[in-house]
Amino acid sequence: MDIRNEITSKYVKYFYAGYDKLFPLFNWCGEFVCEKGFFISRSNPDFSMAIHTLNGQGTLMLNGNRYSLSKNSVAFLCKNDEYSYFPAGDSWHFKFVHFKGDVVHNILRETIALRSPVFAFLDINGSFDNIIECARIKADEKYAAESIFKLLHACYFGEQEHIGNPVIYKIKEFIKSNLSADLSVLELAKQVGLSRPYFTELFTKETGVSPTSYITEERLKYAKELLFTTDLPISEIATNVGYEDVSSFIRFFKKHMGKTPLDLRKSNPFS
């Protein structure tokens, strides 16, 4: 199943007819500058994929988890995954490649299970440029396969971008993956073995906002995504962002957004 709404101001897409089933060869690659309303959703695709964010920010929903795709990050999606991705703001600029190959699929699946589907890097743009050039000129398949291997090598062994204090990074990822849970500041501090006052001070220093404000922002963002990209009832969205009582969720949402969830859904930019 593949649902697409490719609203872009820049659309560059190349097809490369690779046939090798063992080693990685790609079929589609290109570059998009997405506008609000762009949306891709796939279920059980027969290819793997890499997305490199150049500017702006995207959101990836992968197998029930949510990830932010920021500048210079690379996201890997395996075949047979269920995922969707779309801009987190007004614009999102990224390059992509779809590829196949049993060897690379197994490597990706094991690596993602141990680490994460999203990697942050200083500069990996050249690797994507090589792949796009291979497709543009219909390069030899051995050279094309080598370009995929180089991309994977650069990602797995390249220098990771500084992501700030690792304790705070871990907590931010924990918050994004557990928005339906009771995310009290005390419980978050316990997660990393810190006292509540010191954790609050450290988090605020690293992020510029308090833990409570950060949780509020993430819950609002996720609620908006669900309102715009799903048909879930308001009560279920409330549960997904940590509110068992739908009335409390509606009051919370209207206080921060100036509209009720239903009113905002009616203005859905994806419809």
Q: What is the largest CA-CA distance in the chain?
A: 61
Backbone angles phi, psi at 41, to 5 degrees: -135, 130
* Per-residue pLDDT tens over the stretch 27-67: 888 999 998 889 999 998 988 899 999 999 999 998 778 88
- Residue 160: what pLDDT? 53
- Residue 50: what pLDDT? 92
- Residue 19: what pLDDT? 53
- Residue 156: what pLDDT? 67
- Residue 73: what pLDDT? 87
- Residue 240: what pLDDT? 94
> Which three-class secondary structure state does DSSP give residue 186?
helix
- Residue 242: what pLDDT? 94
Residues of the chain with pLDDT under 50: 162, 270-271
Say how many residues make up the chain.
271
- Residue 1: what pLDDT? 66
The alpha helices in 41-184, defined as continuous H runs, are 102-114, 125-137, 141-157, 166-177
In sequence order, which residues have a C-beta less than 8 Å from that of residue 17 and are 6 or more positions away?
27
Whole-model pTM over 0.85: no
Fold classified for 166-266: Arc Repressor Mutant, subunit A (1.10.10)
Identify the CA nearest to 228 among candidates 70, 220, 181.
220
| Distance of alpha carbon 237 from alpha carbon 230, whole angstroms | 10
- The end-to-end CA distance of the chain, in Å, is 19
Residue with the two structure tokens 């697409």: 4
Backbone angles phi, psi at 25, to 5 degrees: -135, 145
- Residue 162: what pLDDT? 47
- Give me the half-sphere count of Cα atoms (radius 13 Å) on the Cβ side of residue 261: 28
- Residue 270: what pLDDT? 46
* Per-residue pLDDT tens over the stretch 74-92: 899 988 889 999 998 888 9
Fold classified for 2-157: Jelly Rolls (2.60.120)
The bridge status of strand 73-77 relative to strand 118-120 is antiparallel
- Residue 122: what pLDDT? 59
Q: Where do the domains of the chain lie?
A: 2-157, 166-266
